[in-house]
Chains A and B, each alone.
Chain A
Amino acid sequence: MPEPMGFFTDTTVCIGCKACEVACKEWNQLPAENGGIGELSGDSYDNTRKLDGIHWRHVRFIEQFKGPYDGRWLMMSDVCKHCVQAGCLEVCPTGAIIRTEFDTVVIQSDVCNGCRACIAACPFGVIDVNPVSGTAQKCTLCYDRLKVGLEPACSKACPTDSIQFGSIVELRTRAHKRVDQLKAQGVKAELYGADPDGALGGLNSFYLLVDEPEVYGLPRKPTLPSRNLTKSASFSFASAAVLGVLALVGLRKRRMDGMGGPGGGGPN
């Protein structure tokens, strides 16, 4: 049995070259957007803007500028987090979303029927429909490459090793060392998703960040969609009980009153 595998993304060494985006698109044969005609975002150098069904990697450009010479760039290559407790897998009604032997989360495109429940369930906004297949799609952590002993296309292409691929245990050790190194240099660095006792049982694609998670478009405390199930079902049951009692009370009142026509003040 292979050990859990994943990504450690050190955002401090990302240079925004987008080699990972291109490698992902090439290997997975993902279609171009808008017929290949580039669309500029207009307010950022980030023109991909988001992860979706045809962008399984997205290099976020976070432009923190107060003036022309006062600011900094943050860059982060975003991808599916391959959560240990995955919301998408939890809600998928077709069984299309599976956990692989590498502890990664994969959508089987030939099983998915495009109901899109997983899109709403993912706390990170990772999944979307691929308009060509009509099914929900996202990063597979190159499951096909992993099965034959190859490294995922994105980390292979990354020229700065911002995206590092390996066993989760080994990646966590490496990440903690890097955080210590940065802190010794006075950099405010934190890991996001590396704690196996943290949110969603840890993320198999985790990050080193130098600002708050929200700045990178990441929720502070991602949760499973099922957190609402018991409470929501209980309140619905209570509502049903009240309405059921009302219906019966109305019928009983009608019987007891021997009522007249409509407008007589009773249920008649």
Chain B
Amino acid sequence: MSDTFFSGAPHWTWFIIPYFFVGGLAGGAYFLAAALDWFGRPEDRPVVRTGYDVAAVGAILSGLLLTIDLGRPLRFWHMLFQSENFPALMFKGWSPISFGAWAILLFGLFSVLSALGARAEEGRLQLPALRAIGGVVKGGVAKLVAGVGGLLGLFIAGYTGILLSVTNRPIWADSPWLGALFLASGASTGAATLILLSPGRGATERSLGWLSWFDARALVVELLVLILFLASLGPVNRVWVSFWGLVLLVGVIGFGILAPLRMHAKPAQAARLVLLGGFLLRIATLLASEGIDRYRVVAGS
């Protein structure tokens, strides 16, 4: 038996699961938007603008979900500043939840700046203050913001898996592949979100074609990493002989990865399945471990 089975469950459930999904999706969408911002064509701008909007909304939603999940939500700032020594910063580079708190704050800042810049580009900002901020984020500044934000986006998509690995819980701490898995899933769900939303902002077929091409390859990467993840679990894999194993096999691998890979002609339907698979991946990995209560000493054993 793995020593992880003696730890206690942290009750990370119905606020954290959506956060892991939304955060990954927002990070992936921003990364793709930034890639198109830097290396794409003018015709890709609708996708870029959609990506920045998705990231900004996702980052804000992520912050809210994380805060609500706390036992004492009004103390959320204790993760950023030393509560007894304000304004000294609170940061532990070796604790994923600590650097994650800073990363989500910075990602929120960069994604909102990029979204404002993109909206200013379209002339869609009404408030003078927002118009002024958005007006600054253009040209070289916009590229710089996109570059840093894109890297932060990838970080946000992946750090949640690292956070789970840096625990002592079954499944999570029994494999070092969760960060890579969540990152690949964040990229694929980010692309899927853009495939679904950017046509409404005027995305061209060429832009959508690139997104579908990338999404298919991100799904292959995700499948390979998922196989490595399961292989690394070794004997712990017996936890999948449960409802969550079915969710992982049918929901994540079947509907979320293999089915979309076979649906080249229907990118919108494939994208919906990718989103479903990404959400189920978070549900299965979190709840499979959460469901294992600490090892109990049973009479006679």
Residues of chain A with a CB closer than 8 A to B101's CB: 93
Question: A111: which of B9, B83, B94 is its contact (CB, 8 Å)?
Answer: B83
A interface footprint on B177-221 (CB within 8 Å = 1, 0 otherwise): 111110110010000000000000000011011101110011001
Q: A222 at the A/B interface (Cβ < 8 Å)? A: yes
Query: Which residues of B, 242-286, contact A by the 8 Å Cβ criterion?
Result: 264-265, 267
Query: For the complex, what is the distance from the CA of A45 to the CA of B267, rounded to whole Å?
Result: 59
B299:A65 contact, CB within 8 angstroms = yes
Q: Which residues of B contact A96 (CB under 8 A)?
A: 78
A233 & B179 in contact (Cβ 8 Å cutoff): yes
Min Cβ gap A236→B in Å is 4
Q: Does A198 belong to the interface (CB within 8 Å)?
A: no
**Between A and B, how many residue pairs show CB distances below 8 Å?**
263
Select which of A94, A236, A244, A250 is within 8 A of B210 by beta carbon. Answer: A250
A239 x B184 contact (CB < 8 A): yes
Q: Of the candidates B8, B265, B300, which one forms a contact with A125 in the assembled complex, judged by CB atoms under 8 Å apart?
A: B8
Q: Which of A22-30, A160-168, A259-267 contacts B (4 or more CB under 8 A)?
A: A259-267
In the complex, chain B residues whose CB is within 8 Å of the CB of A71: 300
CB pair A240–B158 under 8 Å, yes or no, is yes
Is residue A122 within 8 Å, beta carbon to beta carbon, of the partner chain? yes
Interface of B, helix, strand, loop or mixed by DSSP: helix
- Determine the interface band of chain B, counting residues with CB < 8 A from chain A: 35 or more
- Cβ-closest 8 pairs across A and B: A114-B71, A268-B209, A267-B213, A236-B179, A134-B71, A113-B75, A219-B3, A239-B180
B residues bordering A, Cβ < 8 Å? 1, 3-12, 31-32, 35-36, 39-40, 69-73, 75-76, 78-79, 82-84, 90, 92, 94-98, 101, 154, 158-159, 161-163, 165-169, 172-173, 176-181, 183-184, 187, 205-206, 208-210, 212-214, 217-218, 221, 225, 264-265, 267, 294-301
Task: Kindly list 12 other residue pairs between chains A and B, CB separation below 8 angstroms, not including A246-B221, A262-B212.
Answer: A50-B294, A91-B167, A112-B72, A113-B71, A113-B72, A116-B10, A119-B10, A120-B167, A218-B6, A232-B179, A235-B176, A236-B158
Residues of A in contact with B (beta carbons under 8 Å apart):
43-44, 46, 49-50, 52, 60, 62-66, 71, 87, 90-96, 110-117, 119-129, 133-136, 214-223, 225-226, 228-229, 231-233, 235-236, 238-240, 242-244, 246-248, 250-251, 253-254, 259, 261-264, 266-268
